[in-house]
Structure formats: C-alpha cells, structure tokens
A = this chain, B = another copy of it.
Amino acid sequence: MAKRLIPTLNRVLVEKIIPPSKTSAGILLPEKSPQLNSGKVIAVGPGLRDREGKVIPVGVKEGDTVLLPEYGGSQIKLDDKEYHLYRDEDILGTLHD
C-alpha cells in the first residue's frame, strides 16, 4: 500500500536524478562527467495565495525535469524511497533536451 503525498502551498515533491556512474554497456564514466543537480517533479501543491487571496499556481508541473539549488530542500522518505521537498521559488529552472 504505497503512500502518496500531496504537498501544501507552493511545495514541490522532487525525486532526484542520480547520474549513472557506468554506461548501460558497463563502461565506467570518468569522474569529470557533467553532474547536474536535477530531479523529476512527482507532485506539486496548489500554490500560495497573493495579497488579494487569489491562488498563484506553482511554476512547475508533474513530470517536469528541474534544476535544483545546491543547498536547501527537505529530505523525506515515502515507502523507503527518498524524495525532496522544495518551495517553488527555489527551483532554478526546467531542463529540456
């Protein structure tokens, strides 16, 4: 029975992308391989409210690949899997191929 988290306010639930240290063919990648602190958006909150009470929707959506700040975010565990929660304004950008 898997637990599902619905974040509050402008919080974003992210699963970090761990870069492979080997290629799929088993070749070890050199240490200098570009490492990007990125993640996949799993769930987003409804957004904060502005001064007039209107909800400001969160700037990223489920499924987005996002660039994360080096520090910050709260680590949480759901069903033995590790996730991170960020405030929407702390996410640096979205990544596209």
| Other-chain contact of A8, B3, B8, B56, B91 (Cβ < 8 Å) | B91
Q: Are B59 and A6 in contact (CB under 8 A)?
A: no
Give chain A's interface residue range (CB within 8 Å of chain B).
Answer: 35 or more
Q: Are A8 and B77 in contact (CB under 8 A)?
A: no
| Other-chain contact of A4, B9, B76, B91, B97 (Cβ < 8 Å) | B97
- A34 sits at the interface (CB 8 A): yes
Could you say how many copies of this chain the assembly holds?
A: 7
Instruction: Return chain B residues, CB-CB under 8 Å to A77.
Output: 34-36
- Complex Cα gap A48–B60 (Å): 14
Assuming the contacts A74-B69, A76-B67, asked whether A93 and B8 have C-beta atoms less than 8 A apart, the reply is yes
Q: Are A60 and B93 in contact (CB under 8 A)?
A: no
Instruction: Return chain B residues, CB-CB under 8 Å to A34.
Output: 77-80
What are 8 A-B interface contacts by the 8 Å CB criterion? A3-B95, A7-B93, A8-B91, A9-B89, A34-B80, A36-B76, A43-B93, A51-B52
